[in-house]
Amino acid sequence: MPRKKTSKAPKTEKIKGVINGAGEVVEQPIVSTIRENFMPYAMSVILSRAIPEIDGFKPSHRKLLYTMYKMGLLTGARTKSANIVGATMKLNPHGDSAIYDTMVRLSRGYEALLHPYVDSKGNFGKFYSRDMAWAASRYTEAKLAPICSELFRDIDKDTVDFVDNYDNTMKEPTLLPAVFPSVLVNANTGIAVGMASNICSFNLREICETTAALIRDPDHDIFSTLPAPDFSGGCQIIYDEKAFQQVYETGKGSIRLRAKYVYDKSDNCVDVLAIPSSTTCEVIIEKIIDLVKQGKVREISDVRDETGIDGLKITIDLKRGTDPDKLMAKLFKLTTLEDSYACNFNVLIAGVPRVLGVRELLEEWIAFRIECVKRRTFYDRTKKAEKLHLLKGLEKILLDIDKAIKIIRETDEEAEVVPNLMIGFGIDQVQAEYVAEIKLRHLNREYILKRTQDIEDLEREIAELDDILKSKSRVKTIIVKELKSVADKYGQPRKSMIIYEDTAAYVEEVDEVPDYPCTFFFTKEGYFKKVKTQSLRMMGAHKLKEGDEVTQEIAANNNCDLLFFTDKAQVYKAKANDFTDTKTSVLGEYVAAKLGMDEDENAVYLVVTKDYKGILLFAFENGKAAKVPLEAYATKTNRKKLTGAYSDKNPLAAMLWIDEDREVLFTASSGRMLLVHTGALALKTTRSTQGVSVMKLKKGHRLFSLSEYREGSFKKPQRYRTKSLPALGALPTSEDSNDEQLSLL
Sign of CA dihedral 729, 735, 739, 744: positive
Cis peptide before 726 (omega within 30 of 0): yes
- What is the rounded distance in angstroms from the CA atom of residue 403 to the CA atom of residue 425? 9
Catalytic residue among 41, 139, 166, 516: 139
- What is the rounded distance in angstroms from the CA atom of residue 405 to the CA atom of residue 424? 11
- What is the rounded distance in angstroms from the CA atom of residue 190 to the CA atom of residue 171? 25
Using CA atoms, how far residue 461 sits from 142, 153, 377, 455, 716, in Å, is: 40, 20, 11, 10, 113
User: Is the separation of the CB atoms in 482 and 208 below 8 Å?
Assistant: no
By the 10 Å C-beta count (0-12 exposed, 13-18 middle, 19+ buried), 32 is classed as: middle
By the 10 Å C-beta count (0-12 exposed, 13-18 middle, 19+ buried), 15 is classed as: exposed
For the question of residue 139 being annotated catalytic, the response is: yes
Length of the chain: 745
User: Is the separation of the CB atoms in 614 and 658 below 8 Å?
Assistant: yes
Q: What are 271's strand-pairing partners?
A: 262, 315
The secondary structure of 596-656, three-state, reads CCCCCCCEEEEEEECCCCCEEEEEECCCEEEEEEHHHHCCCCCCCEEECCCCCCCCEEEEE
8-state DSSP, 719? G
Strands 236-239 and 498-500, sheet pairing: parallel
- What is the rounded distance in angstroms from the CA atom of residue 346 to the CA atom of residue 193? 13
Enumerate the active-site residues. 139
